[in-house]
Structure 1
């Protein structure tokens, strides 16, 4: 550790001199302060073309998105009613999925395999129809289909892929157990090889091993990818050899009459807080026999005589490879969560622009978005939706690159990045949905305006495909590995390269920059990103020191637990840095000058609002002086005020058709008449 500190100190001196010199120009500082006063005194002229924004936000496949929108708009019989019972909702979701594949000729499985970016584009669009439909699609193609494609070999594709693609083989992804969710390596379901019959025997050894929350299991599924401990009989012992967790294709219902097959028990998990269009079930297995070929054997195989072979030498390496191939689910959840945030923000902001209440004496009432309190609730949320959009676009592109190249460094990068973005974005969206509901008052409580449905359907996003707290720990663990690499000469992966510079600037702060509070400086993307990355580097450095200290007394597990809150904050800080960096890159790609100008304001609000919310950290490290902190707060309020003038165009830029948004108070026009019509007025 002393060597680390020495290296930091040796890199600091010249950098500090250069940076100090650049800031000590009084003429520049005076000019900056003059500009700040002038800008804040005169409202920013903002206007943006929503069509340009919509094209920017539609990504690379706007035609696919529009095709889905047009199909469901043309089919009102497929619209999910506001009030619908569980059984009817499940059947409607399956009907919607079949219509999408067989009538609209959308082929999700093909897209997932050949062009993942197109696949995630359609999943976001489908989420606007009904989040249950989006999740059911993900279970069928990303989870059940993805497990066959990514964990199996060509024989499995030849046998199952067509049926998965056309929905003749609806299936499940049976990983989670009653007693084991996040700790997949601890699952207890067994698959024991029987050499006499050349079969695996699947068993649920105890109640805790019951497969639970399995989507598609309660009603529609005919197959399941069952994750179980592979047991091989040992010729020299009566005990079986545990080869670790593997995946097996297990038929659960008859292809002829859909009856449950012998040895399998299926129960309905029942009515849930949300997503009741998805038929979650619980599964138990009693001596269920499947052919040896039903082992998904990409990472490990069993021969006819019971011999085991794998290119990966250890159980841990095979397990890591297996989970690494299933990371697409996290990518989809992060991307889909942004879609939910866009929908909720659209409704809340349009209503806030429409609804008038109170105002100056003897004058007309003003819109509730004219109130500072409403601006502070909704404008940072709107900026976050834009920031998250560009970050998840990058994640999808990185995932597509991973599937194409199978590069180990990219695989590791996507694994950590998808974990962090999924955790951070879904947690933020869950809180934002409550804020949207509250910001619309009593009308936000009406089911027809969809906040309750969106909130309840989205809530589980924080838990499935990895509990958010566990995922953030994975990010923190990866950061610490990168930290160690810096001091041992190893190469840093793409997402973490900023640490090379940031870790060199921790020993002291710049006294001029600390007090600099001009508008131009605070809106400089370099200052904003430097602040984010400094915080991450500081948290990483102190986390490493604390872990080293506590491990001597408590051991590695005890030390980790003692530092857990610190590590979670570290992970969130890193993800915020990545999000801001990708927002900056997206703005640079925008060719329309006026749109880029407004997006710069959106980015500034996202960045400065985050800095203000964690201003205590920056103050404690003397990174920001008291006056600079006040200036940041004033600028956050100012940007929120300014962006309300472009808020309508910014939510129009999300491109969600009124017919699919469906919330009467969130429509582009005729909100009150549509709302009144819903309750029966002519």
Structure 2
């Protein structure tokens, strides 16, 4: 006996069980399963022409054209460079990373991959970073697609070691080191983090004491807590390190005491260029096998009175003369420190951008498998795709929408960074610093959680190493920690928002990213309109103005309330105590603001799309992203009566419906990421013959 049909809209609501007496447990189970298959029927038809549910593929009519048009819109001007790298790795099976590999073998392979990229494929990453940062990040993303360890090792060599020379040094340093770094003759490290200090860079303990007699700096590790730790490239391959240390000038302080001039960067050779032997006074130990990224050789460095020439000080923001006098264009230690760290923002930009690439791979594998996998179905009828279940759509479709939202946001971040490097505009520098902090923290945290959800969505087959989720999760996990711990970075965003908030009431000028606060703070802090709080029509809920206003209203309320709380608590707890008391509130504020920035860019990207059909698909995806986020935080909106109960219910129902609609174009949306099989690699994530490739892999 088939499960009872759902009532029509004239009677019980869709998805609500008909009242039946004496229903057996088996019948009740069948009825509940059947409800998974029911799709909302009370929604108005959208302008997007989506195909009806039919057949196993459930593709929209002209799906290949939709995917091609989306891919064309997503591609940046540097896609050709990525395709050349994909072709290069495809032609070199010896450079492709196998599923099972020892740590030592992975490190050697990773270095061979990087060397081949530079010397065989002809890529010059440092030249790109200096001349065209957007193409550099595109190359990094492609390298990370081949192996995340390779992408990170490339970043260590060029973003960090090479970037320190370009951004913190002067012409003499670039003339001496640039070519050797670019062609990989000078593999190097970035030695900032210490055993006891990572995020608190100003508290680093390594010292660089000037010796005026020999015209040298003496690099010293004063205690075990000051050992440089987790230094990429140090354990095996590095020959140089940019070492961050406290610059000490003897007899320059009060009463003839040594003067501590704060944190500066120094070039320290750590291995002989010819023999590769570790140099005297330097101790290097291996940090060992890690959870992931074992192609990167992380090591620990201790310095015992290592002498380097005075010219090895990277002196863009501070210099020491032959007679030991210190000069700087910046008057204070804090300003010099801020300028130094500000020049290293490219690392965060690259991580945020690369994290989106990892999310795209994970979502592609999960969605393709969900379309392929058949499970259960109505009695005496074929099994259906698991992506036809509402619960599966709820897992994956908002994640797919977020992948698109993050894509546009990080592309904008790269563009802003490129413009910043060209113009050195102070407002843009500040803007990129905070925006990169927020996006890096938000995107990497989201991606880390999403990879596990994608694994679960693929059931037991998601647990097979060959299907990549374990490697993706483990290799990506550290993205939440390096280049700034995410919790610390979000505090930087919150701190800047509070600074802007104070400037607003002083009549100051707000920076570019926060300019929505200028005109709208008064509106957002007023009582919600009781009429619009009840509007629940689809046209209203899918209006970008409503969506963006809702995001910004939440941010403004959070900003206003946390400012009041900080002022209240600082009277009794002091500034630090008040900040700690309000810390969770501050982190929520930062995340809310970053979501507003992401949505604003997504809406702008939809409007800018020149092709009407592609724009309609993107509008659907953008609506799902916005309404899903509003629904996930509906308690906040309800607490201040921004959304009435009936409107909250309408948002929930529309979010479910949009998830179903996005499901109908899910294959086109993941195909539009234009990721070749070389990058996907997981047998269950292939565009065709997935099961055939899977069975062949295990030996059938």
Q: Secondary structure at the match of 1:348?
A: helix
Distance 1:119 1:179 in 2: 33
The answer (yes or no) to whether the contact 1:176–1:214 under 8 Å persists in 2 is: yes
1:220-271 Cα offsets, whole Å, 9 max, x none, are: 0000000000000016756311000000000000011000000000000000
How far 1:433 moved relative to its partner?
0.4
Residue 233 of structure 1 is matched in structure 2 by 250
Shift of 1:458: 0.2
Aligned equivalents of 2:453 and 2:43: distance in 1? 33
Give the corresponding residue for 2:684: 665
In 2, are the aligned partners of 1:189 and 1:209 still within 8 Å (CA)? yes
1:495 alignment partner in structure 2: 513
Structure 1's 41 and 94: CA in aligned 2 closer, same or farther, altered over 3 A? closer
Q: What does residue 220 of structure 1 align with?
A: 237
Aligned CA-pair RMSD: 1.3
Residue 645 of structure 1, CA deviation: 1.2
- Distance in 2 separating the partners of 1:341 and 1:466: 20
**How far off its partner does 1:570 sit?**
0.2
The question of whether the paired residues in 1 share the 8 Å contact of 2:50 and 2:664 is answered with no
Is contact 1:55-1:62 (8 Å) kept?
A: no
Question: Which of 656, 674, 679 is residue 637 of structure 1 equivalent to?
Answer: 656
The aligned residue for residue 17 of structure 1 is none
1:53-111 CA-to-partner distances (Å, cap 9, x unmatched) read 12222212111111111111111111000000000000100100011111111111111
Q: Which residue of 2 aligns with 1:320?
A: 338
Contact 1:43 1:642 in 2 (8 A): no
Q: 2:166 aligns with which of 133, 136, 149?
A: 149
> How far 1:502 sits from its partner (Å)?
2.8
Tell me whether 242-251 or 69-78 shows the greater mean CA deviation: 69-78
Alignment deviations for residues 161-198 of structure 1 (CA, whole Å, 9 cap, x no partner): 00000000000000000000000000000000000000
TM-score, scaled relative to structure 1: 0.94
Q: Does 390-399 or 506-515 show the bigger shift?
A: 506-515
Structure with more relative contact order (C-alpha pairs < 8 Å, separation 6 or more): 1
For residues 314 and 394 of structure 1, the distance between their equivalents in structure 2, rounded to whole angstroms, comes to: 33
Residue 511 of structure 1: SS of its match in structure 2?
coil
Instruction: Find the partner of 1:614 among 617, 620, 633.
Output: 633
Measured in 1, the distance between the counterparts of 2:478 and 2:424 equals 30
Q: Is the 8 A contact 1:299 1:322 kept in 2?
A: yes
- The residue aligned with 1:679 is 698
Q: Distance in 1 between matches of 2:468 and 2:494?
A: 36
What secondary structure does 2:664 align onto?
Answer: coil
Give 1:641 deviation, angstroms.
0.7
For 2:386 and 2:42, locate their aligned partners in 1 and report how far apart those are by CA, in whole Å. Answer: 28
Partner residue, 1:476 = 494
- 2:309 is the alignment partner of 1:291: yes
Question: What SS does the aligned partner of 2:285 have?
Answer: strand
- Residue in structure 1 matching 2:439, options 421, 438, 459: 421
Given the alignment, which residue of 569, 573, 576 partners 1:550? 569
Counterparts of 2:227 and 2:281 in 1: how far apart (Å)? 13
CA distance in 1, matches of 2:225, 2:375: 55
Q: Is the 8 A contact 2:146 2:678 kept in 1?
A: no
Q: Which residue of structure 2 aligns with residue 539 of structure 1?
A: 558
- Deviation for aligned residue 1:467: 0.3
Partner residue, 1:161 = 178
Is the CA contact 2:555–2:593 (under 8 Å) kept in the aligned structure 1? yes
Q: Does 1:514 align with 2:533?
A: yes
Q: Where do residues 167-246 of structure 1 align in structure 2 (5 Å cutoff)?
A: 167-234=184-251, 237=255, 239-246=257-264
Q: Give the Cα separation in 2 of the matches to 1:330 and 1:42.
A: 37
Distance 1:589 1:280 in 2: 44
Q: Which residue does the alignment assign to 2:123?
A: 106
1:39 aligns with 2:56: no
Runs of 4+ aligned structure 1 residues displaced above 6 Å come to 40-43
**Among 628, 633, 642, which residue is 2:647 paired with?**
628
2:324 to 303, 306, 316: 306
Structure 2 Cα separation of the partners of residues 239 and 36 of structure 1: 79
Structure 2 counterparts to residues 15-54 of structure 1, below 5 A = 37-39=43-45, 44-45=50-51, 47=63, 49-54=66-71
2:583 corresponds to which of 549, 561, 564 = 564
Q: Deviations over 1:424-478 (max 9, x none)?
A: 0000000000000000000000000000000000000000000000000000000
Q: 2:594 corresponds to which residue?
A: 575
Alignment map for 1:120-135 (pairs within 5 Å): 120-135=137-152
- 2:154 is equivalent to residue 137 of structure 1: yes
Look up the match of 2:12.
none
Partner of 1:374: 392
Provide the C-alpha distance between the structure 2 equivalents of 1:247 and 1:278, rounded to a whole number of angstroms: 23
Per-residue deviation, 1:501 = 2.8
Retained in 1: the 8 A contact 2:534–2:643? yes
Summarize the Cα distance change of 1:359–1:36 in structure 2 as closer, same or farther, 3 Å threshold: closer
Counterpart of 2:266 in 1: which secondary structure?
A: strand
Q: Which of 272, 278, 282 is the aligned partner of 2:296?
A: 278
Mapping of residues 337-486 of structure 1, within 5 Å: 337-486=355-504
Q: Which residue of 2 aligns with 1:8?
A: none
User: How far apart in 2 are the matches of 1:222 and 1:648?
Assistant: 47
The aligned residue for residue 86 of structure 2 is 69
Instruction: Give the superposition deviation at 1:38.
Output: 3.1
Listed as ranges, the gaps of 5+ residues in structure 1 are 1-34
Q: Report the alpha carbon displacement of residue 486 of structure 1 after superposing the two structures with TM.
A: 0.8
**Number of corresponding residues:** 647
Kindly indicate whether the alpha-carbon contact (under 8 Å) linking 1:202 and 1:289 is maintained by their aligned counterparts in 2: yes
* C-alpha distance in structure 2 between counterparts of 1:660 and 1:638, whole Å: 32
